[in-house]
Amino acid sequence: MQAVFGPVTLEESTRRIEAAAAAADPQLPLVLLAHCGPAGLGSEAADPCGRDWKRPARDWGDLDLAQAITTIRRRRPLPLVVFGHMHHQLRRGQGARRSFQRDTAGTAYLNTACVPRHGCDGDGRELRHFSWVELQGGALQHASHRWYGRDGRLLYQERLFQAPVPVAPC
């Protein structure tokens, strides 16, 4: 950020995020894309933005993004925030990071940092990772991690969220 914009305060960075969201088409669902996720998603190593490489574990999310999200939601719904940076596999064999979370306001947070994105399964088939979301009417319906073969076939899916199917009244 400093290389492009020079020194930027927390307040200025927050305002830039808010301005970008305000400029988005109000007829479309708002999805924020960020390098790192917001502060406030937990302080354990396995939390979406938890610090796992150094003890003690702590919340390593971005405060400017968290502050901007609070302001943005006063003006319009925010169904999804997508980010990466914090790899799914934790350091020192501590397991895997939670890559999906929803808050009480209904905003979903998806960490897409599956590294490496290319690999092979136990049968030697090449895999490509994609994070997949489906929105309908501005609401999140589905979120998953998917691994595809080189031929484009879906080989594996880790379902993170599926909206309940409405039950028709009798």
CATH number at residue 42: 3.30.750
Q: How confident is the model at residue 43 (pLDDT cuts 50, 70, 90)?
A: very high
Question: Looking at the domain assignment, is residue 120 inside a domain?
Answer: no
Predicted TM-score of the model (pTM): 0.90
Total number of domains in the chain: 1
Which sign does the torsion angle of CA 147, 57, 59, 5 carry? negative
| 124 located within any domain | no
Position 16 in a domain: yes
Q: Is residue 152 part of a domain?
A: no
- pLDDT (tens digit per residue) in 92-148: 777 888 999 999 999 999 999 888 788 999 999 999 999 999 999 999 999 999 999
Token pair for residue 62?
Answer: 């971005």
Mean residue pLDDT of the chain comes to: 92
User: In angstroms, what CA-CA distances link 66 with 5, 91, 94, 147?
Assistant: 21, 25, 26, 30
Identify the domain containing residue 76 by its residue range: 2-115
Is the pLDDT at 168 greater than 90, yes or no?
Answer: no
User: In this structure, is residue 9 part of a structural domain?
Assistant: yes
168 or 163, higher pLDDT: 163
With cut-offs at 50, 70 and 90, classify the pLDDT of residue 1.
low
Q: Evaluate whether 42 touches 59 at the Cβ level (below 8 Å).
A: yes
Domain-embedded: residue 153? no
Distance CA 144, CA 147 (A): 10
Q: Is 87 exposed, middle or buried (0-12, 13-18, 19+ CB in 10 A)?
A: middle
**Per-residue pLDDT tens digits for 26-42:** 999 999 999 999 999 99
pLDDT the model gives residue 96: 84
Rounded to whole angstroms, how far apart are CA atoms 102 and 110? Answer: 9
Q: Is residue 155 part of a domain?
A: no
What pLDDT does residue 85 have?
Answer: 86
Q: Which residues contact 48 (CB under 8 A, 6 or more apart)?
A: 37, 41, 42, 61, 86, 97, 98, 99, 100, 101, 109, 111
CA–CA gap between residue 169 and residue 44 (Å, rounded): 42
